[in-house]
Amino acid sequence: MKYLFFPTVNGVRGIYKKRSVSVFVDEGRKKISTKSFKRNYFLDIPLIRGVIYFVMGLIVFFQNFGESIKEEVKSKDAKKVLQKTKIAKLSVVYTIIGIVALFISLFLLGYLPSKISFLILGMEENFLLRNFIIALTKIILIFLVLLTLRFIPAMQELYKFNGAGNLVIKNKGEINTDKTLDYHYALNFLNFFVFTFILSTFVITLVGIRVSFWGNWLINFGLFIVCLSFSYEILYLLSLNNKLEKACVLTSFFVCMRPQLTHDEVARVAFSQLSMKEKFYGATMNEGKIALATVLSEMQTKLTKANRYDKSDVEWIIATVLGKNRAEAKLVRYFDEKTYKEIMKATEQRALGKPLSSIFGFVDFYGFRFNVNKKVLSPRMETEILVEQVIKIASTIKKCEILEIGTGSGAIAVSIARNIDAKICAVDISKSALEVARQNANQNDAKVEFLESDIFSGIKKGRKFDIIVSNPPYIPSDEIEFLDEEVKKFDPKLALDGGKDGLDFYRKIIEQAPSHLNRNGYVAFEIGKGQFKDVKELLSQHNFFDIKGIKDYNKIYRVVIAKNGRSKKYS
């Protein structure tokens, strides 16, 4: 059985396998009710499944209707004695509306079509032609009634939730789409209902059985069941082909509308609850709490619409606000309102392009936490590869001494210091950066010597190291203006600008490095995309050998390591 979605004027109800989820919007907050569901295997049997789907849809639809009414009256005054009176009044209003609608329908579909056929054909006795005119008139009137309903606000809400349900079904939980037809779905219940109603009306009117009252009723009911069965099979076949499914828009147009943000979020919450692998059904939304599925849906919607959705960012935001690691955060099912607001505030900032490190003022790197600000470059995940390679090399050298050039936040130096017994010196031209680096070293209990220096200018003459490591600025000057907004706005230009071709700092470091390296010493660099060949050539020109390139998680050369071939001249 596929995912089934049934809309209401303030939410949706989804069914999948043995799980049923109802999601309603109440005073701007989404409420969830999940229940176990007895699967109906008749839904898989051709011809029979159409009847079962119709009956089940009516039951679920009216159940949803009742639940939505209850949710409407559950406000701050809901616990007052007047609650029952409110429900009763609402029931009376809806009953009166239903009766009026029934009489209007009987007039439009009973008296009016016959009158029109008489005006057109006069005393013409052609039975089949007369019935065809009546049937065609009824279809036109039905379309006019459906078109009128689209202008009623409550029906618009119903149709938008319906469209949102179609979107998550067709896009497997995703709702962001530019395709207009994506919120139309052939097997959608309201579309199935309208299609069946139109087909059965046309067939029953065209046949025009006249035996007796009860005889007419039984035959017409039988024809309706047949139309019901074939309607489902027709729509089912249409749903299997994207091109053919476009034909369903003729009826789906009247019961589906483009959803807005809230409708999208509600439908996706329902879908995420239905698709959860854990046995989480049977639970009801805790009073005053917001479900994880709701939070995840809202975060995904906001970030997707800003074209900044990344699953790891979502997990990081939630874990950071909770003060837990990602594994622990995944076990949390509900959030209090304060936590929810903090998560959404951070999400909105991320949607505007603000990096996570700037939102929270710190970043996790190589298992440690580092404070960052606009004075230093936020360490990237790819830089962990550089740290890993340096640790690997340093572990083979006794009493290893390491120099980091352009330390910034101190992330590289501190991470190395915490993972291996080595003497580490880190330099930077920026006093502000060095201040941040020292704070991070103290915070992470790492022993690192920090010096203010423009590359090697602050290093004592004759001081040598076993490894020189650097993640220097490597963005070509002309390309900085085309970088992502979050990089341009929140990372210091000093840490980005690598000169005209992005290689200025590599040239300076490689040229001067031999005089500061011990025999068989190493240099290790992080490089930008497409720079491996040029950096390798620079290293070769200055007698470095055994040059190796290490690729990152995207199969891009990200780290270069080489041995010093001129060390004997300076030893």
- Average pLDDT score over residue span 445-454: 95
- pLDDT at residue 428 above 70? yes
- Rounded to whole angstroms, the Cα distance separating 318 from 346 reads 9
Tokens at 286, concatenated:
């805790």
Say if CB 267 and CB 161 are below 8 A apart.
yes
3-class state of residue 412 by DSSP: helix
Using one digit for the tens of pLDDT, what is the confidence trace for 330-349? 778 788 888 888 998 999 88
Range ranked top by mean pLDDT from 87-96, 196-205, 225-234, 471-480: 225-234
- Rounded to whole angstroms, the Cα distance separating 190 from 203 reads 20
Say if CB 454 and CB 431 are below 8 A apart.
no
Structurally, at CATH architecture level, domain 368-570 sits in 3-Layer(aba) Sandwich (3.40)
Name, in order, each residue with C-beta under 8 angstroms of 503's C-beta and a sequence gap of 6 or more: 474, 531, 534, 535, 538
- Average pLDDT score over residue span 62-71: 60
Q: List the helix and strand counts (H, then E) for the chain.
A: 22, 15
Tokens at 435, concatenated:
């201040």
Tokens at 187, concatenated:
């097997």
More confident of the two residues 560 and 7: 560
Q: How confident is the model at residue 310 (pLDDT cuts 50, 70, 90)?
A: confident
Q: How confident is the model at residue 87 (pLDDT cuts 50, 70, 90)?
A: very low
pLDDT of residue 422: 95
- Rounded to whole angstroms, the Cα distance separating 64 from 467 reads 68
Q: Rounded to the nearest 5 degrees, what angle is found at the Cα of 192, between the Cα atoms of 191 and 193?
A: 90
Amino acid at 14: G
Greatest Cα-to-Cα distance within the chain, rounded to the nearest angstrom: 119
Using one digit for the tens of pLDDT, what is the confidence trace for 40-49? 666 778 888 8
3-class state of residue 8 by DSSP: strand
Residues of CATH 3.40.50.150 domain(s) within the chain?
Answer: 368-570
3-class state of residue 406 by DSSP: coil
Using one digit for the tens of pLDDT, what is the confidence trace for 207-247? 877 777 677 788 888 888 999 999 999 998 888 887 888 88
- Average pLDDT score over residue span 521-536: 93
Q: How confident is the model at residue 479 (pLDDT cuts 50, 70, 90)?
A: low
Residue 32 β-bridge partners: 23
pTM of the prediction? 0.53
- Rounded to whole angstroms, the Cα distance separating 436 from 492 reads 14
Give the CA radius of gyration of the chain: 34
- pLDDT at residue 431 above 50? yes
More confident of the two residues 258 and 100: 258
Q: How confident is the model at residue 521 (pLDDT cuts 50, 70, 90)?
A: very high
Name, in order, each residue with C-beta under 8 angstroms of 203's C-beta and a sequence gap of 6 or more: 223, 227
Say if CB 209 and CB 221 are below 8 A apart.
no
Say if CB 313 and CB 347 are below 8 A apart.
no
pLDDT of residue 107: 60
Say if CB 207 and CB 223 are below 8 A apart.
yes
Residues of CATH 1.10.8 domain(s) within the chain?
Answer: 287-352
> For residue 527, which of 366, 402, 422, 389 has the smallest C-alpha distance?
389
- pLDDT at residue 283 above 50? no
pLDDT of residue 82: 44
Question: What is the dotted CATH code of the domain comprising 287-352?
Answer: 1.10.8
- pLDDT at residue 405 above 90? yes
- pLDDT at residue 110 above 90? no
- Rounded to whole angstroms, the Cα distance separating 274 from 21 reads 7
Q: How confident is the model at residue 121 (pLDDT cuts 50, 70, 90)?
A: low
- Average pLDDT score over residue span 95-106: 58
- pLDDT at residue 322 above 70? yes
